[in-house]
């Protein structure tokens, strides 16, 4: 993948290490699902290496175990898994890694869509795309403040994503208004030439009276 000079300059600021945040949230050392595995295609690897080079350390995150809410039964709590990381077969479903700019105003996610995510024949299911957008906007908003819940997500599907392909999901903070964070997101081909999906989300920090994201 060739990156234009302009794009390179823009991307050199992605250097926030999400792992620094994790110990506060997850008491056990999680398996890092964002590390490369044998299912990652050439494009996914090249992009990963590109963004990783811009970081001082490995700027990757993700764990599959959810700590679960106190209201859950012990059985459900022990079996709870982060939805996007609950399929152990590498490459079968959601393969992704997130990078954040140091000021946290922008985030980029490299996403390779596996064969279990089929919707229309040969293409990715709209719910799977929305799941990834929700993951990116929700994680982005959580890093900006504190764990959030998605209150509203508007998704416009512009062109289908071929199954097995790698795409970029980029989010930016549009506006912060008290507890509410407005984040917009674009899913594009890796060279940015094709727009697949656009979305806007409102992710407030839950108020004291609401249940809140106890799993984070």
Ligand X SMILES: CCCCCCCCCCCCCCCC(=O)SCCNC(=O)CCNC(=O)[C@H](O)C(C)(C)COP(=O)(O)OP(=O)(O)OC[C@H]1O[C@@H](n2cnc3c(N)ncnc32)[C@H](O)[C@@H]1OP(=O)(O)O
Based on CB atoms, which residue is closest to ligand X, 121 or 178? 178
| 16 and 101 Cβ atoms separated by less than 8 Å | yes
Per CB under 6 A, the list member of 34, 59, 112, 135 interacting with ligand X is: 135
Spatial separation of the C-alpha atoms in residues 148 and 85, rounded to whole Å: 19
The answer to the question of residue 37 lying near ligand X (CB under 6 A) is no
Residue of 32, 57, 103, 134 marked catalytic = 134
The answer to the question of residue 143 lying near ligand X (CB under 6 A) is yes
Neighbours of 155 (CB within 10 A): 17
Write each residue from 103 to 122 as x if it is in contact with ligand X (CB under 6 A), else as -, in one continuous string: --------------------
| 201 and 134 Cβ atoms separated by less than 8 Å | yes
Q: Segment near ligand X (CB under 6 A), from 33-41, 47-55, 73-81, 131-139?
A: 131-139
The answer to the question of residue 138 lying near ligand X (CB under 6 A) is yes
Spatial separation of the C-alpha atoms in residues 126 and 83, rounded to whole Å: 16
Spatial separation of the C-alpha atoms in residues 28 and 13, rounded to whole Å: 30
Q: Segment near ligand X (CB under 6 A), from 1-9, 43-51, 118-126, 137-145?
A: 137-145
Spatial separation of the C-alpha atoms in residues 158 and 162, rounded to whole Å: 13
Spatial separation of the C-alpha atoms in residues 111 and 134, rounded to whole Å: 13
Q: Which residues within the stretch 144-163 sit at the binding site for ligand X (CB under 6 A)?
A: 146-147, 149-152
Residues in binding contact with ligand X, number by CB under 6 A: 25
Number of residues in the chain: 216
- Clarify whether 134 is annotated catalytic: yes
Spatial separation of the C-alpha atoms in residues 96 and 44, rounded to whole Å: 9
The residue number whose beta carbon is nearest to ligand X equals 138
* Contacts to ligand X by CB under 6 A: 21, 25, 134-135, 138-139, 142-143, 146-147, 149-152, 178-180, 202, 204, 206-207, 209-211, 216
Positions annotated as catalytic residues are: 134
């Amino acid at each position: 993948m060739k990156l234009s000079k302009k794009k390179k300059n823009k991307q050199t600021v992605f250097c926030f290490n999400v792992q620094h945040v994790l110990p506060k949230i997850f008491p056990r050392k999680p398996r890092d699902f964002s590390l490369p595995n044998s299912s990652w295609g050439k494009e996914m690897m090249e992009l990963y290496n590109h963004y990783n080079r811009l970081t001082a350390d490995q700027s990757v995150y993700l764990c599959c175990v959810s700590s679960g809410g106190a209201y859950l039964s012990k059985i459900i709590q022990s079996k709870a898994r982060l939805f996007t990381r609950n399929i152990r077969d590498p490459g079968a479903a959601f393969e992704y890694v997130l990078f954040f700019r140091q000021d946290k105003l922008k985030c980029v996610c490299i996403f390779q869509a596996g064969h279990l995510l089929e919707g229309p024949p040969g293409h990715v299911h709209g719910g799977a795309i929305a799941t990834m957008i929700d993951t990116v906007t929700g994680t982005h908003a959580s890093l900006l403040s504190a764990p959030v819940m998605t209150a509203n997500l508007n998704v416009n599907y512009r062109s289908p994503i071929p199954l097995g392909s790698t795409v970029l999901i980029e989010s930016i903070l549009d506006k912060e208004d008290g507890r509410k964070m407005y984040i917009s997101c674009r899913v594009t081909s890796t060279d940015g030439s094709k727009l697949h999906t656009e979305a806007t989300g409102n992710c407030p920090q839950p108020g004291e009276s609401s249940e809140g994201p106890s799993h984070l």
